[in-house]
């Protein structure tokens, strides 16, 4: 068996069997190490005699070097740990290949967090030992899997940064993790990592509680170079080194639309041709929920899938939904010029426990195709234009003698030329008085970090926030809450209703942050694994999650910095500021603040920007 590499970051990511190991019923040890030919992966189990797995990485391929006797021994005795198998597939005949495949995929889906931790540790060079206990270490019948992982010869420079940022012990020797099943109210067993049993142990034997997310972030960012594919690590291009902000990779609208009869006819024809080529059905008119639902019923492929709205001027809009007819109700409330709709149900999504990621992935591909075809789309996600619509934000740019496109191409330069007169907000005396009181409390909470936080907020505003003085309070607000909320926000800079930059303060006064960015700008159009790992190694300790907020499109990410130095490093990275600037512009084009305007503190903004109230 040999497997060629693709765009994964770690060499061992190409071993397709790897995620299966933590689901198996046998205790085992597994480790990756460099060898003369490249890399060698060895897995062994005391429970399976002559059951060692040996694979070597040679000339860009993984080669199975397991002796035939060991292959026979392991294949005849290794099975899924029955306690991990979901109840709904537990009775399937595992001797039937198709049934076993279904059982395995359901088990993997149910324990994806376990598989992610395991593969992260193994691929980044840790030696992992897994032990099973059907009754649990507590002796109370709680089953457990215990993972003991010994740290490899790490990248010490990156490790030092990650350890400082994550506040982990300086000399981690190994980690111990317990993954246990607990009975839920419905009688089913729910599996999770036991937070009280996830510890990092130093070389001196000191034990420290750690989070699973911190463990994976540390492992990825500090992995030794020999675990990685060539070219993964790359230097950061910094503003402080004189580098300009990265150019946007998002496609621009090729030609502004006009609305003559011939123009509209041509656009509708182009949309029709594109829709046929991408398996959308014939146009449905009138585009009302009742008719659409009946059409979906006639197709018999479910209510989940993709739809293409066509407007009277020839514009289009591509969307996805778990209930297309219901989603259309919202569009009809906002849009009175919908001409017709085309449907493309996705039966495969119906079988998924959580179809949203699948739908978003497919939607992203379709949006890219629409833009490549030059269609006048009204989508906002990943679009650098809004088709046929003048938005309130356009007026602000016009008044400042610039445009969205000009700002997007040079956010820093355009902000420097912003007219400091005509500030959007002129706070009254009552707001100033309330702001001063809130600012005093903010200073007390921030303590010695106040100057640093103000500096970082200033940097974000100047590099990433469109025309901050003229969009303040109209499109963005900065809070300094009287009471620290559960998510520990010291300040939220929100654009519309979405947090673009959050400064958080822990109960012990430690300051950290979250930055909202456009994932395509940060990681490239494919948002591939190698780009993500490269970014995490450029910024050790920073973790990345998908944004639950989709106001600026479904491809936005949240960068979580464990301390302020990590945030400073992010805002000095020209790729990060590009991604944050694009996300900020998209958020402004999409929405304005609502009641959260009341949370705005102009006194804090004055202190940051150095302007008078």
Give the pLDDT confidence score for residue 258 in this predicted structure: 64
Q: How many CB atoms lie within 10 A of CB 434?
A: 16
More confident position, 88 or 71: 88
Least confident of 357-371, 449-463, 531-545: 357-371
pLDDT at residue number 476: 95
Distance of alpha carbon 286 from the chain centroid: 38
Measuring CA to CA, which residue among 454, 462, 508, 451 is closest to residue 484? 508
Please give the DSSP secondary-structure letter assigned to residue 245.
Answer: P
Phi then psi dihedrals of residue 498, to 5 deg: -105, 135
Tell me which DSSP letter residue 323 carries.
Answer: S
pLDDT(486) > 90 = no
Question: Could you read off the pLDDT of 399-409 as tens digits, one per residue?
Answer: 999 998 899 99
Q: Which has the higher per-residue pLDDT, 364 or 32? A: 32
- 71: CB partners within 8 A, 6+ apart: none
Closest CA to 533 of 4, 6, 3, 10: 10
Domain boundaries, the chain: 14-227, 261-373, 420-609
- Whether the pLDDT of residue 568 is over 70: the answer is yes
Phi and psi at residue 308, to the nearest 5°: -130, 110
**From the centroid of its chain, how far is CA 292?**
33
Going by C-alpha positions, the residue among 341, 338, 332 that lies closest to residue 280 is 341
The pLDDT value recorded for residue 376 is: 82
- Distance (Å, rounded) from C-alpha 101 to C-alpha 513? 42
The span from the CA of 242 to the CA of 238, in Å, is: 7
- H-helix or E-strand spanning residue 76: helix 68-77
Note the pLDDT of residue 422: 74
Going by pLDDT thresholds of 50, 70 and 90, the confidence category of residue 384 is very low
pLDDT for res 252? 56
Please give the pLDDT value at position 5. Answer: 33
pLDDT of residue 509: 94
What mean pLDDT do residues 504-517 have? 96
Q: How does pLDDT run across 306-340, given as a tens digit for each residue?
A: 999 999 989 899 999 999 999 998 888 878 889 99
CB 199 within 8 A of CB 175: yes
- What's the pLDDT at 160? 94
Nearest alpha carbon to residue 325 among 291, 363, 280, 283: 291
* DSSP assignment letter at 479: B
Between residues 39 and 69, which one has the greater pLDDT?
A: 39
In sequence order, what are the residues at sequence separation of 6 or more whose Cβ sits closer than 8 angstroms to the Cβ of residue 92? 99, 100, 102, 103
pLDDT tens-digit map of 78-94: 689 999 999 888 888 87
**pLDDT, mean over the chain:** 88
The model's pLDDT over 39-68, given as tens digits with 9 standing for 90+, comes to 999 999 876 555 578 899 988 889 988 876
The predicted model gives 10-33 an average pLDDT of 92
Over 80: is that where the pLDDT of 375 sits?
A: yes
pLDDT at res. 370: 87
Q: Using CA atoms, how far apart are residues 116 and 582, in angstroms rounded to an integer?
A: 30
Instruction: Find out whether 599 and 481 touch, Cβ atoms under 8 Å.
Output: yes
Q: What is the rounded average pLDDT of the residues 99-125?
A: 93
CA dihedral 11, 15, 16, 18 (to 10 degrees): -100
Beta strands in 486-555 (DSSP E): 489-495, 498-505, 511-518, 543-546
DSSP structural state of residue 228: B
| 117-174 pLDDT per residue, tens | 999 999 999 999 999 988 755 555 678 999 999 999 999 999 999 999 999 988 899 9
* CA distances in angstroms from 568 to 41, 458, 522, 576, listed in the order given: 39, 11, 17, 11
The larger pLDDT score, comparing residue 269 to residue 594, is at 269
Average pLDDT over every residue of 561-569 = 97
């Amino acid at each position: 068996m040999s497997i060629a590499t693709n765009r994964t970051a770690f060499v061992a990511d190409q071993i397709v069997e790897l995620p299966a190991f933590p689901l198996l019923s046998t205790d085992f040890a597994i480790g990756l190490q460099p060898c003369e030919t490249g890399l060698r992966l060895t897995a062994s189990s005391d429970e399976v005699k002559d059951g060692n797995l040996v694979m070597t990485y040679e000339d860009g391929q993984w080669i199975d070097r397991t002796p035939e006797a060991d292959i026979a021994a392991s294949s005849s005795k290794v099975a899924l740990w029955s306690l991990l198998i979901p109840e709904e597939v537990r009775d399937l005949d595992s001797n039937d290949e198709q049934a076993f495949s279904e059982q395995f995929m359901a088990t993997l889906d149910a324990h994806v967090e376990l598989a992610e931790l395991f593969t992260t540790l193994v691929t980044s060079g840790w030696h992992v030992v897994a032990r099973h206990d059907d009754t649990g270490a507590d002796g109370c019948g709680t089953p457990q899997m215990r993972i003991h992982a010994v740290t490899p010869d790490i990248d010490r420079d990156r490790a030092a940064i990650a350890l400082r940022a994550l506040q982990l012990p300086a000399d981690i020797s190994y980690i111990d993790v317990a993954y246990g099943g607990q009975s839920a109210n419905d009688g089913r067993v729910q599996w999770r990592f036991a937070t009280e049993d996830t510890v990092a142990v130093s070389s001196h034997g000191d034990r420290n509680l750690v989070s699973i997310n911190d463990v994976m972030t540390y492992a990825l960012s500090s992995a030794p170079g020999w675990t990685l594919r060539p070219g993964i690590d790359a230097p950061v291009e910094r503003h402080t080194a004189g580098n300009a902000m990265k150019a946007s990779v998002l496609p621009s609208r090729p030609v502004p639309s006009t609305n003559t009869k011939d123009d509209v006819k041509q656009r509708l024809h182009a949309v029709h041709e594109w829709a046929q080529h991408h398996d959308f059905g014939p146009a449905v008119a009138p585009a009302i929920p009742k008719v659409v639902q009946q059409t979906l019923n006639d197709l018999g492929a479910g209510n989940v899938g993709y739809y293409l709205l066509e407007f009277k001027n020839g514009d289009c809009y591509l969307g996805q939904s778990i209930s297309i007819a219901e989603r259309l109700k919202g569009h009809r409330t906002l849009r009175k010029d919908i001409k017709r709709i085309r449907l493309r149900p996705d039966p495969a999504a119906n079988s998924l426990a959580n179809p949203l990621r699948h739908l978003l992935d497919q939607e992203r591909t379709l949006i890219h195709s629409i833009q490549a075809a030059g269609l006048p789309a009204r989508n906002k996600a990943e679009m650098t234009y809004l088709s046929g619509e003048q938005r309130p934000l356009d007026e602000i740019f016009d008044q400042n003698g610039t445009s969205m496109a000009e700002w997007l191409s040079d956010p820093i330069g355009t902000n420097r030329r912003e007219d400091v007169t005509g500030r959007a907000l002129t706070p009254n005396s009552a707001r100033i008085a309330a702001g001063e009181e809130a600012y005093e409390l903010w200073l007390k909470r921030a303590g010695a970090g106040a100057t640093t936080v103000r500096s970082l907020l200033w940097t974000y505003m100047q590099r990433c926030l469109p025309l901050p003085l003229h969009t303040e309070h109209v499109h963005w607000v900065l809070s300094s809450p009287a009471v620290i909320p559960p998510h520990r926000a010291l300040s939220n800079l929100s654009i519309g209703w979405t947090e673009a930059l959050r400064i958080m303060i822990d109960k012990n006064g430690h300051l950290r942050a979250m930055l909202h960015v456009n994932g395509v700008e940060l990681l490239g159009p494919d948002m591939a694994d190698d780009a993500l790992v490269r970014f995490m190694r450029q910024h050790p300790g920073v973790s990345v999650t998908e944004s639950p907020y989709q106001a600026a499109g479904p491809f936005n990410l949240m960068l979580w910095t464990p301390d302020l130095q990590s945030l400073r490093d992010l805002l000095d990275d020209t790729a990060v500021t590009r991604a944050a600037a694009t996300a900020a512009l998209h958020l402004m084009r999409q929405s304005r603040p609502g009641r959260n305007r009341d949370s705005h503190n102009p006194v804090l903004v004055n202190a940051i920007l150095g302007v008078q109230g």
